[in-house]
Chain A
Amino acid sequence: MIILKNERDLEAMRPACAIAGSVLDEVAAWIKPGVTTKEVDSFAASRIKHYGAKSAFLGYRKYPCQICISANDQVVHGLAGARRLEFGDIVSLDIGVVYNGFIGDTARTVAVGGCSVIAQRLMDVTEKSLQEGIAQAVSGNRVVDISRAIQNYVEGNGFSVVREFVGHGVGRSMHEEPQVPNFVDKKDEKKSEKLRPGMTLAIEPMVNTGLPGVKILNDGWTVVTQDGSLSAHFEHTVLITESEPEILTWPARMPSKLKAQ
Protein backbone atom coordinates (compact mmCIF):
# COMPACT_ATOMS: atom_id res chain seq x y z
CA MET A 1 0.00 0.00 0.00
CA ILE A 2 1.58 3.27 -1.17
CA ILE A 3 1.62 6.06 1.44
CA LEU A 4 1.01 9.61 0.14
CA LYS A 5 2.57 12.39 2.22
CA ASN A 6 0.47 15.49 2.92
CA GLU A 7 1.80 19.00 3.53
CA ARG A 8 2.21 18.36 7.28
CA ASP A 9 4.19 15.16 6.62
CA LEU A 10 6.37 16.99 4.13
CA GLU A 11 7.06 19.79 6.59
CA ALA A 12 8.58 17.13 8.85
CA MET A 13 10.23 15.12 6.07
CA ARG A 14 11.97 17.97 4.23
CA PRO A 15 14.45 18.76 7.05
CA ALA A 16 15.20 15.03 7.48
CA CYS A 17 16.09 14.79 3.79
CA ALA A 18 18.06 18.04 3.82
CA ILE A 19 20.10 16.78 6.78
CA ALA A 20 20.85 13.53 4.93
CA GLY A 21 22.00 15.55 1.90
CA SER A 22 24.18 17.86 3.99
CA VAL A 23 25.78 15.02 5.96
CA LEU A 24 26.53 13.26 2.68
CA ASP A 25 28.18 16.43 1.36
CA GLU A 26 30.28 16.82 4.49
CA VAL A 27 31.37 13.17 4.63
CA ALA A 28 32.19 13.13 0.91
CA ALA A 29 34.35 16.25 1.34
CA TRP A 30 36.03 14.86 4.45
CA ILE A 31 37.22 11.58 2.88
CA LYS A 32 40.89 11.39 1.93
CA PRO A 33 43.43 8.63 1.29
CA GLY A 34 44.47 6.81 4.50
CA VAL A 35 41.26 7.07 6.50
CA THR A 36 39.66 3.82 7.64
CA THR A 37 36.01 3.10 6.92
CA LYS A 38 35.42 2.98 10.71
CA GLU A 39 36.72 6.59 10.92
CA VAL A 40 34.40 7.58 8.05
CA ASP A 41 31.45 5.95 9.85
CA SER A 42 32.29 7.76 13.11
CA PHE A 43 32.68 11.11 11.34
CA ALA A 44 29.29 10.59 9.68
CA ALA A 45 27.79 9.71 13.07
CA SER A 46 29.12 12.96 14.55
CA ARG A 47 27.63 15.02 11.71
CA ILE A 48 24.25 13.23 11.98
CA LYS A 49 24.26 13.90 15.75
CA HIS A 50 25.29 17.55 15.14
CA TYR A 51 21.97 18.14 13.36
CA GLY A 52 20.01 16.36 16.07
CA ALA A 53 19.11 13.44 13.81
CA LYS A 54 19.71 9.67 14.15
CA SER A 55 21.02 7.09 11.71
CA ALA A 56 18.13 5.29 10.01
CA PHE A 57 20.37 2.33 9.19
CA LEU A 58 21.86 1.49 12.61
CA GLY A 59 19.78 -1.42 13.91
CA TYR A 60 17.63 -1.68 10.78
CA ARG A 61 17.35 -5.48 10.45
CA LYS A 62 20.32 -5.58 12.81
CA TYR A 63 22.53 -3.44 10.49
CA PRO A 64 25.57 -2.75 12.70
CA CYS A 65 26.85 0.62 11.33
CA GLN A 66 25.73 4.24 11.03
CA ILE A 67 26.03 4.55 7.23
CA CYS A 68 26.91 2.27 4.30
CA ILE A 69 30.45 2.53 2.88
CA SER A 70 31.03 0.44 -0.27
CA ALA A 71 34.38 0.68 -2.05
CA ASN A 72 35.29 -0.38 -5.61
CA ASP A 73 33.63 -3.77 -6.31
CA GLN A 74 31.37 -3.39 -3.27
CA VAL A 75 27.92 -2.37 -4.53
CA VAL A 76 25.92 -1.38 -1.42
CA HIS A 77 25.61 -2.05 2.33
CA GLY A 78 29.39 -2.04 2.90
CA LEU A 79 30.22 -2.35 6.62
CA ALA A 80 32.62 0.07 8.31
CA GLY A 81 35.78 -1.61 9.58
CA ALA A 82 39.56 -1.51 9.60
CA ARG A 83 39.87 -1.16 5.82
CA ARG A 84 41.95 1.90 4.90
CA LEU A 85 40.73 3.85 1.86
CA GLU A 86 43.54 4.42 -0.64
CA PHE A 87 44.19 6.87 -3.46
CA GLY A 88 42.38 5.59 -6.56
CA ASP A 89 39.55 3.84 -4.71
CA ILE A 90 35.99 4.86 -5.48
CA VAL A 91 33.68 4.70 -2.46
CA SER A 92 29.89 4.83 -2.34
CA LEU A 93 28.45 6.55 0.73
CA ASP A 94 24.80 5.83 1.56
CA ILE A 95 23.35 8.04 4.29
CA GLY A 96 19.95 7.49 5.95
CA VAL A 97 18.78 9.68 8.81
CA VAL A 98 15.65 9.88 10.95
CA TYR A 99 14.49 13.36 11.97
CA ASN A 100 11.00 14.47 13.03
CA GLY A 101 9.94 10.84 12.61
CA PHE A 102 10.75 10.85 8.88
CA ILE A 103 13.63 9.37 6.92
CA GLY A 104 15.94 10.98 4.34
CA ASP A 105 17.95 8.56 2.21
CA THR A 106 20.69 9.63 -0.21
CA ALA A 107 23.92 8.22 -1.66
CA ARG A 108 26.85 9.23 -3.82
CA THR A 109 30.07 7.65 -5.06
CA VAL A 110 33.28 9.67 -4.84
CA ALA A 111 36.93 9.10 -5.74
CA VAL A 112 39.43 8.89 -2.87
CA GLY A 113 41.92 11.52 -3.99
CA GLY A 114 41.56 10.51 -7.65
CA CYS A 115 40.62 7.50 -9.71
CA SER A 116 40.98 5.76 -13.08
CA VAL A 117 39.28 7.06 -16.22
CA ILE A 118 36.87 4.12 -16.32
CA ALA A 119 35.94 4.68 -12.65
CA GLN A 120 35.26 8.36 -13.30
CA ARG A 121 33.13 7.46 -16.31
CA LEU A 122 31.20 4.92 -14.21
CA MET A 123 30.43 7.57 -11.57
CA ASP A 124 29.40 10.15 -14.18
CA VAL A 125 27.13 7.69 -16.02
CA THR A 126 25.54 6.50 -12.77
CA GLU A 127 24.90 10.04 -11.54
CA LYS A 128 23.48 11.09 -14.91
CA SER A 129 21.25 7.96 -14.97
CA LEU A 130 19.85 9.06 -11.61
CA GLN A 131 18.96 12.44 -13.12
CA GLU A 132 17.40 10.68 -16.11
CA GLY A 133 15.28 8.60 -13.73
CA ILE A 134 14.28 11.63 -11.63
CA ALA A 135 13.19 13.43 -14.83
CA GLN A 136 10.56 10.69 -15.26
CA ALA A 137 9.32 11.00 -11.68
CA VAL A 138 6.29 12.97 -12.82
CA SER A 139 2.66 12.54 -11.76
CA GLY A 140 0.84 10.51 -14.40
CA ASN A 141 3.92 8.50 -15.36
CA ARG A 142 4.53 5.04 -13.92
CA VAL A 143 7.38 3.58 -11.87
CA VAL A 144 8.50 1.59 -14.93
CA ASP A 145 9.15 4.89 -16.77
CA ILE A 146 11.79 5.72 -14.14
CA SER A 147 13.29 2.22 -14.41
CA ARG A 148 13.40 2.36 -18.21
CA ALA A 149 15.11 5.77 -18.29
CA ILE A 150 17.83 4.58 -15.90
CA GLN A 151 18.39 1.25 -17.66
CA ASN A 152 18.48 2.77 -21.15
CA TYR A 153 20.97 5.45 -20.15
CA VAL A 154 23.26 3.02 -18.29
CA GLU A 155 23.24 0.28 -20.93
CA GLY A 156 23.56 2.90 -23.68
CA ASN A 157 26.92 3.71 -22.08
CA GLY A 158 28.05 0.10 -21.94
CA PHE A 159 27.54 -0.49 -18.23
CA SER A 160 25.01 -2.74 -16.43
CA VAL A 161 22.35 -2.21 -13.74
CA VAL A 162 22.11 -4.41 -10.65
CA ARG A 163 18.87 -6.40 -10.44
CA GLU A 164 18.75 -7.87 -6.95
CA PHE A 165 18.54 -4.50 -5.21
CA VAL A 166 16.09 -1.72 -6.02
CA GLY A 167 14.92 1.72 -5.01
CA HIS A 168 11.86 2.11 -2.80
CA GLY A 169 9.23 4.29 -1.28
CA VAL A 170 10.46 5.99 1.90
CA GLY A 171 8.82 8.04 4.63
CA ARG A 172 8.24 7.11 8.24
CA SER A 173 9.76 3.77 7.46
CA MET A 174 12.85 2.86 5.52
CA HIS A 175 11.41 0.65 2.81
CA GLU A 176 7.86 1.43 1.73
CA GLU A 177 5.94 0.49 -1.38
CA PRO A 178 6.51 0.70 -4.29
CA GLN A 179 9.77 -0.95 -5.31
CA VAL A 180 11.66 1.18 -7.87
CA PRO A 181 13.85 -1.18 -9.94
CA ASN A 182 16.62 0.21 -12.16
CA PHE A 183 15.59 -2.10 -15.00
CA VAL A 184 12.38 -3.01 -16.82
CA ASP A 185 11.04 -6.39 -15.83
CA LYS A 186 8.60 -7.69 -18.50
CA LYS A 187 6.00 -8.85 -15.96
CA ASP A 188 6.23 -5.60 -13.97
CA GLU A 189 5.52 -3.46 -16.97
CA LYS A 190 1.79 -4.05 -17.01
CA LYS A 191 1.11 -3.61 -13.29
CA SER A 192 3.60 -0.80 -12.68
CA GLU A 193 2.21 1.69 -10.17
CA LYS A 194 1.07 5.13 -11.33
CA LEU A 195 3.04 8.05 -9.87
CA ARG A 196 0.87 10.43 -7.84
CA PRO A 197 1.63 13.68 -6.00
CA GLY A 198 2.66 13.03 -2.39
CA MET A 199 4.69 9.92 -3.18
CA THR A 200 8.28 10.05 -1.91
CA LEU A 201 10.67 7.66 -3.65
CA ALA A 202 14.30 6.76 -3.01
CA ILE A 203 15.57 6.45 -6.59
CA GLU A 204 18.99 4.75 -6.55
CA PRO A 205 20.74 3.33 -9.60
CA MET A 206 23.47 0.77 -8.78
CA VAL A 207 25.70 0.35 -11.82
CA ASN A 208 28.57 -2.05 -12.60
CA THR A 209 31.33 -1.74 -15.18
CA GLY A 210 31.02 -5.48 -15.79
CA LEU A 211 28.11 -7.90 -15.46
CA PRO A 212 25.04 -7.11 -13.32
CA GLY A 213 25.42 -10.20 -11.08
CA VAL A 214 26.03 -9.58 -7.36
CA LYS A 215 26.46 -11.66 -4.23
CA ILE A 216 26.40 -11.05 -0.48
CA LEU A 217 29.60 -11.64 1.52
CA ASN A 218 29.46 -13.86 4.58
CA ASP A 219 29.34 -10.82 6.84
CA GLY A 220 25.67 -11.00 5.87
CA TRP A 221 25.56 -7.48 4.47
CA THR A 222 28.25 -6.33 2.04
CA VAL A 223 27.07 -6.75 -1.56
CA VAL A 224 29.80 -7.20 -4.16
CA THR A 225 29.84 -7.70 -7.91
CA GLN A 226 30.20 -11.37 -8.85
CA ASP A 227 32.86 -10.62 -11.47
CA GLY A 228 34.83 -8.21 -9.30
CA SER A 229 34.02 -5.26 -11.56
CA LEU A 230 33.66 -1.72 -10.19
CA SER A 231 30.27 -0.50 -8.96
CA ALA A 232 28.81 2.95 -8.30
CA HIS A 233 25.67 4.07 -6.46
CA PHE A 234 23.83 7.39 -6.52
CA GLU A 235 20.53 8.07 -4.72
CA HIS A 236 18.09 10.87 -3.95
CA THR A 237 14.81 10.92 -2.07
CA VAL A 238 12.37 12.54 -4.52
CA LEU A 239 8.87 13.95 -4.01
CA ILE A 240 6.29 13.51 -6.80
CA THR A 241 4.37 16.76 -7.24
CA GLU A 242 1.76 18.11 -9.63
CA SER A 243 4.62 19.30 -11.83
CA GLU A 244 8.43 19.01 -11.55
CA PRO A 245 9.80 16.36 -9.13
CA GLU A 246 11.30 17.86 -5.98
CA ILE A 247 14.69 16.46 -4.92
CA LEU A 248 14.27 16.47 -1.14
CA THR A 249 17.82 15.35 -0.33
CA TRP A 250 19.46 18.20 -2.24
CA PRO A 251 21.97 19.59 0.32
CA ALA A 252 21.23 23.24 -0.48
CA ARG A 253 17.68 22.73 0.80
CA MET A 254 18.90 22.87 4.38
CA PRO A 255 16.70 25.28 6.39
CA SER A 256 18.85 28.15 7.69
CA LYS A 257 18.05 27.52 11.38
CA LEU A 258 19.42 24.00 11.10
CA LYS A 259 22.47 25.13 9.25
CA ALA A 260 23.33 27.71 11.87
CA GLN A 261 23.40 25.07 14.59
Chain B
Amino acid sequence: MAREDAIEVEGAVVEALPHALYRVALANGHRVLAHWKGKARRNPVPLEPGDRVKLEMSPFDLSKGGIVWNEKEI
Protein backbone atom coordinates (compact mmCIF):
# COMPACT_ATOMS: atom_id res chain seq x y z
CA MET B 1 0.00 0.00 0.00
CA ALA B 2 1.55 3.29 -1.13
CA ARG B 3 2.22 5.94 1.45
CA GLU B 4 1.31 9.62 1.12
CA ASP B 5 4.42 11.71 0.40
CA ALA B 6 4.61 13.62 3.67
CA ILE B 7 6.03 17.11 3.21
CA GLU B 8 8.11 18.33 6.18
CA VAL B 9 7.81 22.03 6.98
CA GLU B 10 9.01 24.24 9.84
CA GLY B 11 6.85 26.66 11.78
CA ALA B 12 6.26 28.32 15.10
CA VAL B 13 3.38 27.84 17.54
CA VAL B 14 1.02 30.81 17.53
CA GLU B 15 -1.72 29.57 19.83
CA ALA B 16 -2.38 26.54 22.02
CA LEU B 17 -5.88 25.15 21.44
CA PRO B 18 -7.85 22.56 23.47
CA HIS B 19 -7.17 18.79 23.08
CA ALA B 20 -3.39 19.23 22.49
CA LEU B 21 -4.01 21.08 19.19
CA TYR B 22 -1.98 24.08 18.11
CA ARG B 23 -2.26 26.89 15.59
CA VAL B 24 1.13 27.02 13.81
CA ALA B 25 2.43 29.71 11.47
CA LEU B 26 4.58 28.32 8.65
CA ALA B 27 7.52 30.07 7.01
CA ASN B 28 5.28 30.82 4.02
CA GLY B 29 2.86 32.68 6.30
CA HIS B 30 0.09 30.07 6.19
CA ARG B 31 -1.48 29.12 9.50
CA VAL B 32 -2.31 25.48 9.96
CA LEU B 33 -3.93 23.33 12.61
CA ALA B 34 -1.29 21.03 14.10
CA HIS B 35 -1.84 17.80 16.01
CA TRP B 36 0.68 15.42 17.53
CA LYS B 37 1.84 12.69 15.18
CA GLY B 38 2.96 9.13 15.73
CA LYS B 39 4.40 8.10 19.09
CA ALA B 40 4.36 11.69 20.41
CA ARG B 41 0.58 11.46 20.37
CA ARG B 42 0.61 9.44 23.60
CA ASN B 43 2.54 11.93 25.77
CA PRO B 44 2.38 15.33 24.14
CA VAL B 45 4.58 18.06 25.63
CA PRO B 46 2.71 21.32 26.38
CA LEU B 47 4.00 23.89 23.86
CA GLU B 48 3.78 27.67 24.19
CA PRO B 49 3.48 30.36 21.53
CA GLY B 50 6.86 30.94 19.92
CA ASP B 51 8.06 27.33 20.22
CA ARG B 52 9.52 26.10 16.94
CA VAL B 53 8.10 22.85 15.51
CA LYS B 54 8.44 20.69 12.41
CA LEU B 55 5.21 19.46 10.79
CA GLU B 56 4.60 16.55 8.44
CA MET B 57 1.82 17.55 5.99
CA SER B 58 -0.18 15.63 3.41
CA PRO B 59 -0.02 16.99 -0.15
CA PHE B 60 -3.83 16.68 -0.25
CA ASP B 61 -4.66 18.74 2.82
CA LEU B 62 -2.47 21.75 3.46
CA SER B 63 -4.73 23.02 6.25
CA LYS B 64 -3.34 20.68 8.89
CA GLY B 65 -0.15 18.88 9.83
CA GLY B 66 1.37 16.44 12.31
CA ILE B 67 4.03 17.62 14.76
CA VAL B 68 7.11 15.40 14.31
CA TRP B 69 9.67 17.58 16.10
CA ASN B 70 9.49 20.34 18.66
CA GLU B 71 12.03 22.70 20.20
CA LYS B 72 11.21 21.71 23.79
CA GLU B 73 12.12 18.05 23.46
CA ILE B 74 15.60 18.26 21.94
Name A's B-contacting residues (CB within 8 A).
56-57, 60, 63, 68, 76-77, 94, 96, 105, 163-168, 174-175, 179, 181, 204, 206, 216, 223, 233, 235
Q: Is the CB of A204 within 8 A of B2?
A: yes
CA distance A63 to B1 in the complex (A): 11
- 0/1 string, B16-50, CB within 8 A of A gives 1: 00000000000000000000000000000000000
Task: Output the least CB separation between B64 and chain A (Å).
Answer: 15
C-alpha gap A76/B3 in the complex (Å): 10
Say if the beta carbon of B73 comes within 8 Å of chain A: no
B40 to chain A minimum Cβ distance, whole angstroms, is 13
Asked whether B62 is an interface residue with its Cβ less than 8 Å from the other chain, the reply is no
Contact A175 B59, beta carbon cutoff 8 Å = no
A94 and B2 CA atoms in complex are apart in Å by 9
Query: Which of B1, B6, B59 has most A Cβ within 10 Å?
Result: B1
Choose one: B2, B5, B6, B59; the contact of A77 (CB below 8 Å): B2
In the bound complex, what is the Cα–Cα distance between A161 and B30 (angstroms)?
A: 28
| Contact B5–A206 (Cβ < 8 Å) | no
| Interface pair A163/B5, CB less than 8 Å apart | yes
Find out whether the CB atom of B2 lies under 8 angstroms from the CB atom of A60. Answer: no
| Measured CA separation A134–B49 after assembly (Å) | 45
Count contacts on B: residues with CB < 8 A to the other chain.
8
Q: Would you give the shortest CB distance from B58 to chain A, in whole angstroms?
A: 8
Query: Is A174's CB under 8 angstroms from B1's CB?
Result: yes
Q: With CB as the reference atom, state the residue of chain B lying closest to A164.
A: B59
Q: A164-B59, A164-B60, A216-B60 are in contact. Are A94 and B5 (CB under 8 A)?
A: no
In the docked arrangement, what's the CA distance between A181 and B2, Å?
10
Contact B5 A181, beta carbon cutoff 8 Å: yes
Whether the Cβ atoms of A166 and B5 lie closer than 8 Å is: yes
Closest chain-B Cβ to A42's Cβ sits at a distance in Å of 19
Give 4 nearest A-B pairs by CB, closest first. A165-B2, A168-B3, A175-B3, A164-B59
- In the complex, are the beta carbons of B1 and A179 less than 8 A apart? no
> Shortest beta-carbon distance, A29 to chain B, in Å?
22
Q: Is the CB of A164 within 8 A of B1?
A: no
Complex Cα–Cα for A223 and B2 (A): 11
Partner of B3, one of A63, A68, A167, A233: A167
In the bound complex, CA of A168 to CA of B6 (Å): 11
Q: Which residues of chain A are near B1, meaning CB under 8 Å?
A: 56-57, 60, 63, 68, 76-77, 94, 96, 105, 174-175
A179→B6 contact, CB < 8 A: yes
A204 to B60, CA, bound (A): 20
A57 vs B4: C-alpha distance when bound (angstroms):
15
